[in-house]
Amino acid sequence: MRKIVLTAAAFAAFAGPAFAADLPQRAYAPVKAPVMAAVYDWTGFYIGGNGGYGTSRNCWGVVPAGGVVVPDGCHSQSGGVLGGQVGYRWQAGQFVFGLEGQGDWASMRSSHVSIANPLLTDSSKVTSLGLFTGQIGYAWNAALLYLKGGAAVTNNNLLQATTFGGVGLNYATSTRWGGAIGVGFEYGFTPNWSAAIEYDRLIMGDANNSFSVPAGAAAVVNRVSQDVDLITVRVNYKFGGPVVAAY
């Protein structure tokens, strides 16, 4: 009996490791490296160009010696705008803040027959405009939705001509200051280049304008109100670092 027990123990000692080697081994899942996500950085100086379409509504009023304004009719003019912008943005989390200056050549012109004197036609033309605004926006990586507001300026040519024959009689130029509000959506398609579409409303109020008149004619003063609507497509180049990688 003793020999049988010793023989069985020896067999178990040698067979155990061999049997364990034949058992399937436990599989271990490989450890995955953390995934990097590209985060667009809106911070930095930028410069760009814009072009689009604008409309300007102007209402005229005759200002006689007594100072009581006599309504003289309104007209709306439309045309193209072309220019550029420069600014700086800084990003805090998903919020983006900025300052921007914009200048555009414009060609928006229209006219109406004077109500006070149908023998005259009142004409207005916006020749250029500028915006000086602050911005606040919210970014989803390379996409940015922003609001803007600040000051606006327009340069205008004003003319009274004969309704029949179109002979110019009274002429004035004006530089108008007012306010501006706007909204835009911008997308960064490379780390430094972005494109946007923007709408702006320029609220210019009204102002008296003294016209140059033919020698010997009575002085002419007209009060003209103005509002401008702009839709522009913009392309910007941002000076700054590359896309930041985040885990």
Q: Which two tokens stand for residue 79?
A: 């045309």
Of 34-43, 77-86, 141-150, the poorest mean pLDDT is in 34-43
Half-sphere exposure for 227 (CA within 13 Å, toward CB)? 9
Q: Across the chain, what does the average pLDDT equal?
A: 86
pLDDT on residue 27: 56
pLDDT in tens, 84-126: 999 999 999 999 999 999 999 999 999 999 998 899 999 999 9
- CA dist 25 and 36 (Å) reads 33
The number of beta carbons lying within 10 Å of the beta carbon of residue 124 is: 25
59 pLDDT higher than 50 = yes
Decide: helix, strand or coil at residue 164: coil
164-193 burial: b if 16+ Cβ within 10 Å, else e: eeeeebbebebebebebebebebebeebbe
Average pLDDT value for residue range 32-49? 81
Q: What is the pLDDT of residue 131?
A: 98
Which amino acid, one-letter code, is at 140?
W
Q: Identify the pLDDT of residue 35.
A: 52
- Answer whether residue 26 shows pLDDT above 70: no
Q: pLDDT (tens digit, 9 = 90+) per residue, 181-238? A: 999 999 999 999 999 999 999 999 999 888 888 776 777 889 999 999 999 999 999 9
Tell me the C-alpha distance between 245 and 247, whole Å: 7
Does position 174 have pLDDT exceeding 80, yes or no? yes
Biggest alpha carbon distance in the chain? 148
pLDDT at position 154: 97
Domains of the chain in start order, with CATH, are 37-246 (2.40.160.20)
pLDDT for the residue 64 = 81
CA atoms of 129 and 126, how far apart (whole Å): 8
pLDDT at 19: 43
Q: Is 224 left (phi over 0), alpha (psi -120 to 50) or beta?
A: beta
Please list the alpha-helical segments (H only) found in 23-171.
Answer: none
Dump pLDDT digits (tens) for 113-171: 999 889 999 999 999 999 999 999 999 999 999 999 999 999 999 999 999 988 888 89
pLDDT band at 10 (very low <50, low <70, confident <90, very high): very low
The answer to whether the pTM exceeds 0.75 is yes
